[in-house]
Chains A and B, each alone.
Chain A
Amino acid sequence: MAKITKQDVEYVAALAQLSPDEETKERLVREMGEILGYMDKLNELDTTGIEPTMHAIPITNVFRDDVVTPGIERDQALTNAPKSDGEYFLVPRILDVE
């Protein structure tokens, strides 16, 4: 059975860019432990030599003619932006420099 610790939850939350509070972390320790424990059921199966399903349908390359077609205009692309200056998406400072 998968044993999930609080450290595991914190590590995975950092990877997933989530910041759960203490109460949520404790709930996730319990719930993820239970659900991942259930998933361990798959280990009962011998899958030696079985190809994984990497694609839902057997298609390889899908080609199209190399023709320029109109995409979404900049104005339209910016309409849902939480913050923009009319030309770019604006975000908080990334580099910590003066």
Chain B
Amino acid sequence: MPKELHELTAHEIRDAVRTRKISAVEVAECFFRRIGEVDEKVKAYVDVWRQYGLAQARSVDDRLAKGKEMGLLAGVPIGIKDVLCTRQGYTTCCSRILCGYRSPFDATVVQRLEAADAVFLGKLNMDEFAMGSSTENSSVQVTRNPWNLKCVPGGSSGGSAAAVSADECAIALGSDTGGSIRQPAALCGCVGMKPTYGRVSRYGLVAFASSLDQVGPLTKDVEDLATVMNVMCGRDPRDSTSADIPVPDFTKSLRSDVSDITIGLPKEYYTDALNNEMREKIETAIDGLKKLGAKVVEVSLPHTDYAIACYYIICTAEASANLARFDGVRYGHRSRDAKDVRDMYCMSKTEAFGREVQRRIMLGTYVLSSGYYDAYYLKAQKVRSLIRRDFLEAFQKCDVIIGPTSPTAAFQIGEKTSDPLEMYLSDIYTISVNLATIPGLSIPCGLTRRGLPAGMQIMGKPFDEETMIRVAYTYEKNCGIDMGRPPIV
């Protein structure tokens, strides 16, 4: 049965548009129609850019008609997480404090995608300021998992993952501070990558925890991931932490070959804490890669148990500093009732920041405060060094490390909202990757008995996304399970 247009991958759409089998306008129309049909249930979009997207698509068609050379994403419909600044529409981080905010500039990644002839469909829902693991902390709406509308899509890039999974865009941009791309990708059955810290410019990414944040893509397959990485990555003079390291052609890594690959399995990841069904899925996937010639060794990441505590000290500390800028002076919400400036600061923040954001500002302020700085923040920075060292030592023995992305499949909406600590613990397998600044990729590895997607995480050496992409591609082509499509609509 021929696929519906909205079911196509980004590279299929791009090739069809470039060879003029379909027009970019037809593609855009189809996706806006799809959003109209399903987003009432999924609630992935917080802003739909119908006019703007169609104008971009018409421009792609016009230039094709004139015989112009087109970019790597010609006519590809893309959704953007609301944490990235865009001149078009609003940029709110799904927070009431930025309600109505219009960015005067585009984030560098947004610019790069547009220069590669992508078509933008709108902005996607997220946990407020990317703080959360379920997208329930959005001040706008709760996004639902297309595989089961009673379940969360994961977070914080829940809108991005749900939109890709429900065919409401071909590719989505997300951001990942402690797993915010990989965990929702796993829970919604898509491919998601957090590149090495420094690989992608953070210019125009609203800061949550600056030493951990990284922008990355969520896609339908590994080829799309490699394609969009080719567009996104590279040094940007406007982000001094973007690395001055050459960007390879990631599509060259799209070959089925793991015969020279050694996979490390961290013994600390395969404990009783891991749900049995998840364990089976990962073991089947590893067996598949072994049959294709990969070698497998056990490795140890001895400080795994300390990662969550370390992460939540560092990320809340950085968040409390970054979010201090929302003082109601230059942009954002300002309380109407403030009598003086001090009042204005306090009331504006207290009125407009959500519960989780205020909790993290409080924790971050505490761990940085006089008398506690050494005991919490400095201690956590030292533990971060140990966690990074664990990975670098493990990578002496292997090329990639593989484990689950999330300890469980998607949980029910409302299940974990009353216990913040329990929500934090669901990030166990993803946060070490951010602390160590290495790249991590999540790829679907089957459905649970309840029909929910499971994700496998492939972790790589710093700036070696190529090997991860090759392993993921080999898995997808040779042992990837046909997940079918989510049962919505």
C-alpha spacing A50/B359, complex, angstroms: 30
Binary per-residue interface labels of chain B (189-201) against chain A in the complex, 1 for a CB within 8 Å, 0 otherwise: 0000000011000
* Partner-contacting stretch, out of B288-296, B381-389, B393-401: B381-389
* Partner-contacting stretch, out of B26-34, B303-311, B450-458: B303-311
What is the size, in residues, of chain B's interface with A at 8 Å between Cβ atoms? 67
**Contact A57 B197, beta carbon cutoff 8 Å:** yes
Return chain A residues, CB-CB under 8 Å to B333: 82
Chain B residue at minimum C-beta to C-beta distance from A47 = B382
| Contact among A35, A42, A59, A64 with B363 in the assembled complex (CB-CB below 8 Å) | A35
| Contact among A34, A45, A50, A80 with B330 in the assembled complex (CB-CB below 8 Å) | A80
Shortest beta-carbon distance from B363 to chain A in Å: 6
| Contact among A11, A18, A34 with B358 in the assembled complex (CB-CB below 8 Å) | A18
**Contact A32 B362, beta carbon cutoff 8 Å:** yes
Query: Which of chain B's residues 305-359 have a Cβ closer than 8 Å to chain A?
Result: 305-306, 308-310, 312-313, 320, 324, 327-334, 338-347, 349-350, 353, 358-359
The total number of A-B Cβ pairs within 8 Å is 156
C-alpha spacing A89/B334, complex, angstroms: 12
**Contact B341 A12, beta carbon cutoff 8 Å:** no
**Contact A54 B241, beta carbon cutoff 8 Å:** no
C-alpha spacing A93/B346, complex, angstroms: 15
C-alpha spacing A80/B320, complex, angstroms: 22
Q: Chain A's interface: helix, strand, loop or mixed, by majority? A: loop
C-alpha spacing A3/B387, complex, angstroms: 27
Q: Chain B's interface: helix, strand, loop or mixed, by majority? A: helix
Shortest beta-carbon distance from A78 to chain B in Å: 8
C-alpha spacing A20/B385, complex, angstroms: 35
In the complex with contacts A42-B380, A91-B329, A35-B420 CB distance below 8 A: yes
Return chain A residues, CB-CB under 8 Å to B339: 92
C-alpha spacing A59/B211, complex, angstroms: 13
Shortest beta-carbon distance from A13 to chain B in Å: 7
Query: Which of chain B's residues 72-102 have a Cβ closer than 8 Å to chain A?
Result: 101-102
**Contact B366 A36, beta carbon cutoff 8 Å:** yes
Shortest beta-carbon distance from A21 to chain B in Å: 9
| Candidate in A12, A16, A36 with the most chain B CB atoms within 10 angstroms | A16
Let me know if B378 is at the binding interface, CB within 8 A.
Answer: yes
C-alpha spacing A94/B282, complex, angstroms: 60
Shortest beta-carbon distance from B449 to chain A in Å: 32
Return chain B residues, CB-CB under 8 Å to A53: 211, 381-382, 384-385, 388
C-alpha spacing A19/B361, complex, angstroms: 12
Let me know if B437 is at the binding interface, CB within 8 A.
Answer: yes
Starting from the known contacts A39-B312, A82-B332, 11 additional A-B residue pairs (CB-CB under 8 Å) come to A16-B349, A18-B350, A36-B376, A38-B308, A50-B382, A50-B385, A52-B384, A54-B381, A77-B104, A81-B330, A92-B341
28 example contacts (A-B, Cβ-Cβ < 8 A) are as follows A11-B369, A12-B362, A12-B366, A19-B350, A20-B358, A32-B363, A34-B421, A36-B363, A36-B376, A38-B308, A42-B310, A42-B383, A44-B306, A47-B386, A52-B378, A52-B381, A53-B381, A57-B437, A59-B243, A72-B104, A72-B105, A77-B104, A77-B330, A80-B104, A81-B331, A83-B334, A89-B330, A92-B343
